[in-house]
Amino acid sequence: MAEPFKNMLNEKVIIGMAGFLVNAWVEFDRFGFVSMATNNLDDLELKERSMQITEALVVFLPDDFDHAARIMLESLAPEVVGEIDVQPSNQGISGWAIMPMVDYVGLYGVGHFDVSMTLFKELTKRSSSELGIRFFLLHEPERTMAVLNTWLNDPNHHVRRLISEGTRPRLPWAMRLPVFIEDPSPVLLLLEALKDDEQEYVRRSVANNLNDIAKDHPDLIAEIAARWLKDADKNRVRLVKHACRTLIKQGHKGALKALGYNAPHVVIEKLEIITPEVEFGEALLFEMSLASTLEHNQNLIIDYAIHHKKANGKTTPKVFKWKTTTLAPSKSLFAKRKHAIKKITTRSYYPGTHHLEIFINGVSFGSKEFELIM
């Protein structure tokens, strides 16, 4: 079983932080810091652990923010140019230990703008500052965006990624940015400059930002997708496809057309659920065959939705990716799928009738029932 994320902020990491902080400032109470930061640590989840460490930083660093900033900067590991190692460094603070420091700057550095921007830039080179910089995007959006604009050509790709990831309007596990949910145009100017970044890590963040924006401005993102795909290389095509993933699941005609997926001309020859009764913890098995009715090739995106039964008896759909293919004239396609139905943290399951629905290029092509047995 994979190690829980919360354990990335463990006692060893905290003791290591204390050692580097006392090296930077001899008056730092390392033992008091460790005692407070590790209190009931096993009972805390990741964000709770991070916040407890942040609170310990508040107590044991100087009250003067500029002085505290200098100490934090001097305690950092050397700048990371390649992939960041999340494991503790023996050269300074880096990886997961950066998380509470980012929160510290976000919460207490708002009145110290320039110093905080320097901290975010240096902290993100050792992990990521996307959560902390959002405090500044909420408090001083124009001033913060102006700084991000100056980082567009920074040689460190972790800094360039922060520009995109930090401005995501609906970044998971983070506060939303209502000003950019309402009007994403300032963010789009930055994404335009980053869309062909040499690093996949940055381009992936650009795609995720566009996907966020698509949830509130679907037609706008479809238009951008069509424009960006003109004379696009394979990297930009991959970016646009990932950016449009929500729109594709929703069957947005503009996004599908931009990606070359027009109205499907197919007939379903067979749609069968092999396991009409599924025990919780087991898998739903189903298969389908379809045939083309066109005289030329057509690009198809085949998805399926599971309409999960809720506590009130109603159902709600969740769309899953299945196949992307090109179907030749008058040809048939057979596909089989195994979909696990097991305990996950993001969904509660209830027994009873569920539905499987097939979508091709966003168009529904029928559904079948199955029973979930708890």
Which residues touch 314 (CB under 8 Å, ≥6 apart)?
none
E strand spans, the chain: 266-273, 277-279, 283-292, 298-309, 315-327, 332-340, 352-360, 363-373
Question: Which pairing describes strands 266-273 and 283-292: parallel, antiparallel, or unpaired?
Answer: antiparallel
Which residues touch 212 (CB under 8 Å, ≥6 apart)?
168, 169, 170, 171
Sheet with 283-292, strands from edge to edge, namely 266-273, 283-292, 332-340
Average pLDDT value for the chain: 95
d(CA 228, CA 237): 8
List the structure tokens of 104.
């510290």
Contact 225, 258 (CB under 8 A): yes
Q: Supply the pLDDT for residue 110.
A: 92
pTM, two decimal places: 0.86
Q: What is the arithmetic mean of pLDDT over 193-202?
A: 98
Q: What is the arithmetic mean of pLDDT over 346-364?
A: 93
pLDDT tens, 93-102? 999 999 999 9
pLDDT tens, 298-353? 999 999 999 999 999 899 999 999 999 999 998 999 999 999 999 988 889 999 99
Domains of the chain, first to last: 5-258 (1.25.40.290), 266-373 (2.60.40.10)
d(CA 84, CA 95): 7
List the structure tokens of 290.
């379809």
Q: Supply the pLDDT for residue 240.
A: 97
**pLDDT for residue 87 is more than 80:** no
